[in-house]
Structures are given as structure tokens and as C-alpha cells.
Chain A
Amino acid sequence: MNRWNRVRQSVRFKTFMSFLRNPKALTGLILFSLFILMAVFAPWIAPYDPQATIFAPLEPPTWQHWLGTTGTGQDVLSQFIWGARTSLSVGIGAGVLSTFLAVLIGMLPGYKGGWVDRVFDTIANIFLVIPGLPLIIVITSYIHSAGPLVIIAVIGGTGWAGGARIFRSQALTYVSRDFVVAAKLAGASDLWILFREILPNMLSLIISSLMFGTIGGILAEAGLEFLGLGNVSVISWGTMMYWSDAGGSLLMGAWWWLVPGGLGIAIFGMSLALMNFGIDQVTNPRLRDTAPPEKTSRRKSRKVRSDVIHG
């Protein structure tokens, strides 16, 4: 009981609660959870085998097939549910990888400073302006029919630059903060300071980097697979679009074959954006719907920060 009270008093819990009180954030969280559940429990939820070509082709939505059937007689709903697995895991995988690289490439040199920092910052800036999707397309075309893991590596490996710049500038502002200086004087190692003192303060940035990385990852994957650069026999929202376009679905008026994949991506992306919107409002007082006074809130946020550090 006592412990639960302590949790309830903790700043993080309060932040999380104020996140939940935001209707946009809550909607986002619910949508996001539904997608995740759908992907995890795909084998139990999907009404049919997604690959089985056993139904009448190009059947519009009916009670037997809520989202109709494909040109080869597969159940679109089952494909959509199974496709969520690939698309979400590739997207989230790419988001995690790019965020990890961004933290590594942005924060470490930013903290160390000097020429190492200048070199890495320049590299990040270059990667930022070299157009991502064309680069990904070129790389993937050299690798034939890339599977999901390779796609994660390519997307994550090229998409870290934006985050790296943000983490770097944040690390720079923290280097001279009192609590970091104090930890240094107390003899803490650089890694300890980075991961135990600085990183927790960037939690909201890391989460929003994960979210944007995931949206970007899903979109890039869908683009690659649509162009037929992925492994087209894997079921994902991207390959669903590929087959529906290759099968001329729209020419035959079979919109139900094309629509679900893209709509799934857009709604899932929106759920992440909604949650990110909520995080912004919790962490940036000015963006709050009804913000407390500027002065008090500034003091408060400082207090929150020191609580996070000491608590």
C-alpha cells in the first residue's frame, strides 16, 4: 500500500496521469493498443488463412468477407490482420534502431565535445539533407528481395540524422547543468552520467523520436514493398498495396483490396501522432490547452526535473 502511494506521488506517475487526462493522447493510446493487440493475436483473430486462395476472386465486402477478397481469392481482412504484424514490427524495429543510433551518434559526441563532436555533427547534417527514400531504394535494389530484417536495417540505418541533431543539442544544454557538474565532481564516469543522469531527462524526446521513427519506418517500408523491392511473398500492408496495384484492383473497381493497407498505416500513424501531441502538451507548458502562469510553470518544471534526478 505504502509503495503504491509512493508511486502515486512520484512525478512520473503524475506526468503519466496528466498525459492520460488529455483526450487526444488517450485516443491515440487506445488506437495504438488496438493495433498492437491485433498484430500480437493475429493467428487467433484472423478469420481465414491469409495466403489461402480458396475463395471467389474480387468479391466485394460481405458478411463472410468483411473486407472482400483479392484478385486471387484471398480474404482481405485476414491479410490486413496478418499484415499488421509485419508492418508494425518493421516500423517499430526501424524506429527503435534509428532512435538508438540517434542517441548514440547525437548524444555521445555532443557530450564529449571537441573535434569528435564536430565530425559526427557534420555527418548527421549530411545524412539529414540526402533524400532518404531514394537512398533507401538504391540500397535495397542492390540487395535482392530484401526481407523484413534487412528493410529494418536499411531504414533505421539511414533515418537517424534528425534525431541525432536533437539529442546532440539537448546533450549540449545538459553538459553545463548543475547536476551534471556535481556528478562529475563526485567522480561519476562519463557513461554513468550519460545514461543515469542525462538520458532520463530526455525521456519525452526519446519517445517522440521513437514515434516519428516508427511512422517513417512504416511509410518507407510500404513504399519499398509497393515498388516490389521487398520480399513480395511476405504479407504486409505494403505488399497488400503492391499486389492490389499489380492486380489492377482499381481498374476493376475493387477498392476494398487497396484501401485497408493504406488506411491502416494512416490510422496507426495518427495514433502515434496523437500520443506525441499529448507528450508535447505535458512537457511543454506553452503548448498546454489551459496553461498555468508562465512563471509558476517554469519553476515547476525545474522542480520536476530535480525530482526526477534525485528521486
Chain B
Amino acid sequence: MRYFVQRLGFLLLSLWAAITINFVLPRFMPGNPAEAMIARYQGRLSPMVLHSLEIEFGISNQPLWVQYGAYLQNLAHGNFGLSITYYPVPVIQIIANSLPWTLGLAGTATVISSVLGVVLGIIAAWRRGGKLDTVLPLITMFTTALPYQWLGLLILYVFGYLLGWFPTAHAYTATLTPSLTPPFIGNVLVHAILPASTIVITAVGGWLLGMRNNMINTLGEDYVVFAEAKGVKDRRLMFMYAARNAILPSLTGFGMALGFVVGGSVLVETIFSYPGVGYQLVAAVQNEDYPLMQGLFLIIAVSVLLANFIVEMLYGRVDPRVRRGGARA
């Protein structure tokens, strides 16, 4: 219970921090970016819109704390402002349209890469010095250093253009109407394979190497040797005694790992024109659509923070020392 309250407190604190960073950045960056943006849109947008932008980005004589209060109030009502590029579509609506795609893509890719990496890491450490253990770390050292966009472009080129096995862009075929029917879902899956593979290939290595090292350390622990001595069979020894303990540090680093995946999905979505928040973020950045950019950044941060919170709750279930009080991990 204490753990739950503690983690919930941290979640709220980090949410507040993300929200505040979003408020502070446009106001304190050198060169006053918001003013520059508004100047650029002068004449292209109606004076009323410009005025609302001025208020939103603090180009007014109101003191900061009043602006901050108004900003928080708007957020609380789900009012993220209006997009400039898609004027007058509210930012919240663009988020609502794009977020599910990213959650699906980055979420699936995270699950696949973490499960794959953890399992391969366990096996590599278990067969220490074997073929798998010699080759896998070398391969992953290379794949983790691959730039997302580069790998994405090559995969797109080879499997999309040259071989033509998979569609080269978008989340589903434009002629189809979104529905929960098997053909449509199949269509979505086929579109997701290349971008998801790009993320999995670059993200799996971190999990693998981390798990392998933790596992090797854990295999040297007395309780694993003791369990081996008392006759526990290999499979149970490997999973219930070694891996159950070795995975704990990987879980605590989950938030950071997810941050990498989300960062990668920004680039990957751009390459595959995948209509998620990352794609929209890059579009907003290129169009200098600050209201949209702010809203998207906030939603990305909030999603990662929430996912991290969920994993922390799971962690509490896996580690009895956290679940039943006592030493904090």
C-alpha cells in the first residue's frame, strides 16, 4: 500500500513536471519562438485567431502565474487549443485520431521486443559461452546502434519497393472504411509489420544485453547454487530462481526503455507515413504549428508516464519485498 501511494505520488509529480515543461519552453526559449510564429502567420490568419494564439503562448502583459493558471484550467477541460495547420480543428481531436495508432504500434513493438529480448537474454546467459551467447551480444551491439530512420528506410526500400511484400505507407489501405472486421484488422496488421519490425530490431538489443548481464550475475547468487544443489530441475531453476530475480532491474528501467521506443516511433512513423502522434509531431514541427506540437508532446509524455506507472504496479506484484513492505527496491 505504501508502495502504491509512493508511486502514485511520483506519477502525479512527473505529470505536473511534463505539463509545466510544456508551459515553460515556449515562454523562456531564446528568441521568443511564439512571437516569431505569430509574426509569420500575420495576415494569413484572422486577427481573432492570432489573438487567441497570443494568449495561449503568453504574449500578453498578464503576469506569469495568471497565464499558468489559465493554462492549467484549459488543460483540465481538455482544451489544448486549435491546430494552425488544420485550422480550426481542435488539437485534442487530432490527438484522439492519432494516439490509438501509436499506442498500437509502439505498444506492440515494446511488448514483442521486451519479451523477445528477455527470453533470448535468459537463454544466452544460461548457455554461457555457447554459440548463441557468442553471436547474439555481437549482433545486438550493432543493432542497438542503428539509427531508426536509416533502418526504417532500408526496410521500406527492400521489403516495400524491391520485393513488394508489404505496403509502403499508412496504417491501412485508404479505400477501406475502418471497422472491426477481420479483413480490416488484417489490413492494419500488414501495414504495421514493417514499422513494428524496425522498432523491434533496434529495441530488442537493449533488453537482451541487460537481461543477459543481470542473469549472469543472478546465476552466481547463492540462492541459485543452493537451489541447484537441492535438486531443482533446470527449467524451474532457470525461470523461478534465476530469471524471476534477474528481470527485476530490467523492469525498473522500463520507463526509460519505453522512452527510447517512443522516440524511435516518432522517426519510424515519419518514414512509413504512419498516422500516429509521432508523425503528427514531426508535421507540426515542420509547419511550426506550436499548439499542436505542445499538445502532442504532452500526450506522448503522459502516455509514457502512465505506462511506466502500470509497469511499476506489476513490479510490485513480482517482487514480494515491495508488495509486502520491507526494503524498497
List residues of B whose CB falls within 8 A of some A CB.
10, 13-14, 17-18, 21, 25-26, 29-31, 33, 36, 129, 137-138, 141-151, 153-154, 156-157, 161, 213, 216-217, 220, 255-256, 258-260, 262-264, 266-267, 270, 278, 281-282, 285-286, 288, 293-294, 297, 300-301, 304-305, 308
Task: Say whether B145 contacts A131, CB under 8 Å.
Answer: no
Write the A71-111 contact mask toward B (1 if CB under 8 angstroms, else 0).
00000000000000000000000000000000000000000
In the assembled complex, 7 residue pairs joining A and B whose CB atoms fall closer than 8 Å, in A order, are: A130-B21, A131-B259, A133-B264, A134-B266, A250-B157, A255-B157, A284-B217
* Contact A269 B220, CB 8 Å, known A130-B17, A133-B266, A141-B285: no
Among A126, A215, A245, the residue within 8 A (CB) of B17 is A126
- Tell me if A50 counts as interface (CB < 8 A to partner B): no
Residues in A126-151 with C-beta less than 8 Å from chain B: 126, 128-135, 137-139, 141-144
Whether A67 sits at the interface, judged by CB under 8 Å, is no
Q: Which residue of A lies closest to B271 (CB)?
A: A245
Interface SS, B side: helix
Contact status B18-A222, CB under 8 Å: no
Measured in the bound complex, the distance between the Cα atoms of B267 and A178 in whole Å is 49
A258 vs B150: C-alpha distance when bound (angstroms): 8
A: interface residue count bin: 35 or more
Query: Which residue of A142, A258, A284, A287 is within 8 Å of B29 (Cβ)?
Result: A142
Which residues of the other chain, B, contact A139 by a CB distance below 8 angstroms?
A: 25, 29
| Interface residue SS majority, chain A | helix
The reply on A280 being an interface residue by CB < 8 A is yes
When the two chains form the complex, which single residue of A215, A227, A270, A294 contacts B267, counting CB atoms closer than 8 Å?
A227
Least CB separation from B278: chain A residue: A134
Bound: A289/B10 CA distance, A: 40
Do A223 and B18 have beta carbons less than 8 Å apart? Answer: no
Annotate A261-290 by CB proximity to B: 1 below 8 A, 0 otherwise: 111011111101110010010001011010
A134 x B10 contact (CB < 8 A) = no
B216, A287: Cβ atoms under 8 Å? yes
